[in-house]
């Protein structure tokens, strides 16, 4: 019976998703449809509404709107330009300096957006224009812009990590800290690749190093650089939880916008608040139906069925994670990352003990793999974003990304095969 339910679930889910039904409603419609059929658990309206409501009112979901709001307020302050100037003075003197700036800015900007697509569409436009106006060809500029955009969701605060934490019922703070080392490892691999490409392709030399100018730009960028430091430092120091850190980030962003930069008006605040409210409403609905879906999976015995099949495939946790990463990469290429998380996490989370997988470690692997899917041809979402914001065709964007796939693959393999890359820092600070 479980095999039939699994086949029916996949079939109905793909049908609803293919005809354009949003991910949350696809999940809800699939579960309700199967409950109405004689092959599945019977439909109980009381339990259905209770499960949806419980998913929508989870305490840790409060982190999502506050981090979204903090990022939008920071963007309104104009701090992005100051951080770009600082990064230019910091690594600009290197050959291919502006390409290195691209990576550094994406690393810093991640502390305000937590979204790869937001990075590519927002700061990516600035980075691309800066490079092409300084004698870089379009393909060189678009390649590093796309590759560096995926750093954002690994470094806290990260919306995909929050979504994983809620679905897997794990600590947001622990997952945030677990993503720090892999995030910097990813950034380091990007910078090493840029250095090699700059030497091989004779990219333009950097600007003259000026210590006084570096200090001046650092002072201007310092308020923005403090935002992720406050979040990570507060969690590491035990001053507040990840949910409380989100509220602290909002207060800090408001203080910068109204009193330090004096660049935000009440009408600006109303606009960003309205946008945040709309995004939050859709996310809350997603989690309501995701909770119903997780309940149905357990009731139907689907996780046990999958667990037995996976253990039969290989008893090795590393081999299992490699196989799951490959599946996630394929799904992340064709589907939006949030949709994949909604479908796969409730299905896989109950299996972690049986598979010998650490949930924190696999959470970082899962988010990292899904971010790779965003830049994987032929349907990676960031590829289409880059096509829209640049003058390059989709084929040119794909070709520009080719040099970066090898270092991305190496980092993913290292994170999978060496769990300490993700788990050492949380253990060091007593979160594990």
Average pLDDT score over residue span 312-338: 82
Q: Is residue 5 part of a domain?
A: no
Q: Which of 193-197, 286-290, 345-349, 410-414 has the highest mean pLDDT?
A: 410-414
The predicted model scores a pTM of 0.84
Query: 345 vs 85, 192, 341, CA distance in Å?
Result: 40, 33, 5
Q: Is residue 32 part of a domain?
A: no
| CA of residue 213 relative to chain centroid, distance | 33
Q: Which of 111-120, 185-194, 262-271 has the highest mean pLDDT?
A: 185-194
Average pLDDT score over residue span 116-134: 73
Cβ pair 348, 328 in contact under 8 A:
no
Q: Is residue 6 part of a domain?
A: no
More confident residue, 313 or 254: 254
End-to-end CA distance of the chain: 39
pLDDT bucket at 85, cuts 50 / 70 / 90 = confident
SS (H, E, C) 274-319: HHHHHHHHHHHHHHHHHHHHHHHHHHHCHHHHHHHHHHHHCCCHHH
Q: Which of 119-128, 381-390, 419-428 has the highest mean pLDDT?
A: 419-428
Note the pLDDT of residue 275: 84
Mean pLDDT over each residue of the chain, to the nearest integer: 83
The secondary structure of residue 256, as a DSSP letter, is I
Q: What percent of the chain has pLDDT over 70?
A: 92
pLDDT bucket at 201, cuts 50 / 70 / 90 = confident
pLDDT bucket at 207, cuts 50 / 70 / 90 = low
Q: Is residue 67 part of a domain?
A: yes
Range of the domain at 369: 44-428
Q: Is residue 389 part of a domain?
A: yes
Task: Kindly tell me the burial class for residue 100, based on how many C-beta atoms sit within 10 Å of its own C-beta (0-12, 13-18, 19 or more).
Answer: buried
The secondary structure of residue 203, as a DSSP letter, is P
Average pLDDT score over residue span 124-133: 79
DSSP string spanning 406-425?
A: HHHHHHHHHHHH-THHHHHH
Helix boundaries (H) for 315-417: 317-334, 337-348, 352-355, 359-373, 381-389, 394-417
Q: How many domains does the chain have?
A: 1
pLDDT tens figures, 137-178:
888 889 898 888 888 788 887 888 988 998 898 988 899 999
Q: Is residue 30 part of a domain?
A: no
Note the pLDDT of residue 114: 52
Note the pLDDT of residue 115: 61
Query: Of the ranges 39-43, 92-96, 115-119, 343-347, which one carries the lowest mean pLDDT score?
Result: 115-119
Average pLDDT score over residue span 334-349: 82
Q: Is residue 9 part of a domain?
A: no
pLDDT tens figures, 16-50:
878 888 777 887 888 888 877 777 667 677 888 88
CA Rg value for the chain: 22
Q: Which residue has the tokens 């870089």?
A: 136
Q: Is residue 20 part of a domain?
A: no
Q: Which residue has the tokens 């039969």?
A: 312
Quick count: other Cβ atoms within 10 Å of Cβ 413?
13
Average pLDDT score over residue span 170-188: 92
Residue 117 has pLDDT above 70, yes or no: no
Note the pLDDT of residue 118: 62
Considering only CA atoms, which of 277, 372, 394 is closest in space to residue 327? Answer: 372
* H-helix or E-strand spanning residue 167: helix 159-168
- The rounded distance, in Å, linking the Cα atoms of 10 and 33 is 12
Considering only CA atoms, which of 210, 192, 110, 202 is closest in space to residue 150? Answer: 110
Note the pLDDT of residue 14: 82
């Amino acid at each position: 019976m479980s095999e039939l339910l699994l086949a029916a679930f996949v079939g109905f889910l793909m049908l609803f998703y293919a005809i354009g039904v949003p991910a949350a409603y696809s999940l809800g419609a699939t579960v309700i449809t199967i409950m109405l059929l004689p092959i599945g658990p019977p439909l109980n309206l009381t339990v259905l509404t209770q499960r949806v409501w419980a998913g929508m009112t989870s305490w840790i979901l409060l982190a999502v709107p506050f981090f979204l709001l903090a990022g939008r307020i920071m963007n309104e302050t104009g701090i992005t330009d100051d951080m770009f100037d600082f990064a230019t003075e910091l690594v600009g003197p290197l050959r291919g300096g502006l390409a290195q700036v691209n990576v550094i800015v994406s690393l810093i900007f991640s502390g305000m957006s937590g979204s790869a697509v937001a990075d590519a569409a927002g700061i990516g436009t600035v980075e691309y224009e800066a490079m092409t106006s300084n004698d870089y060809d379009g393909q060189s500029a678009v390649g590093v812009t796309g590759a560096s955009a995926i750093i954002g969701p690994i470094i806290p605060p990260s919306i995909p990590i929050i979504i994983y934490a809620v679905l897997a019922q794990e600590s947001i703070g622990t997952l945030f800290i677990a993503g720090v080392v892999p995030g910097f490892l990813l950034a380091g691999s990007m910078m090493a690749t840029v250095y090699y490409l700059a030497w091989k392709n004779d990219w333009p030399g950097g600007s003259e190093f000026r210590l006084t100018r570096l200090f001046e730009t650092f002072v201007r960028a310092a308020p923005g650089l403090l935002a992720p430091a406050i979040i990570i430092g507060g969690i590491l120091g035990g001053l507040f939880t990840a949910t409380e850190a989100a509220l602290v980030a909002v207060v800090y962003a408001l203080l910068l916008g109204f009193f330090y930069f004096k660049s935000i008006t009440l009408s600006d605040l109303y606009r960003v608040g309205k946008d945040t409210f709309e995004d939050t409403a859709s996310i809350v609905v997603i989690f309501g139906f995701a909770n119903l879906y997780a309940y149905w999976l357990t009731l139907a015995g689907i996780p046990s069925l999958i667990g037995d099949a996976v253990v039969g495939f290989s008893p090795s946790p590393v081999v299992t994670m490699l196989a799951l990463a490959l599946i996630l990469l394929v799904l992340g290429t064709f589907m939006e990352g949030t949709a994949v998380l909604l479908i796969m996490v409730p299905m896989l989370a109950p299996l972690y003990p049986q598979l010998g997988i650490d949930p924190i470690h696999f959470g970082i692997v899962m988010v990292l793999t899904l971010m790779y899917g965003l830049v994987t041809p032929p349907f990676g979402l960031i590829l289409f974003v880059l096509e829209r914001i640049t003058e390059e065709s989709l084929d040119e964007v794909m070709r520009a990304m080719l040099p970066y796939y090898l270092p991305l693959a190496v980092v993913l393999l290292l994170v999978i095969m060496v769990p300490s890359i993700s788990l050492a820092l949380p253990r060091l600070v007593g979160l594990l």
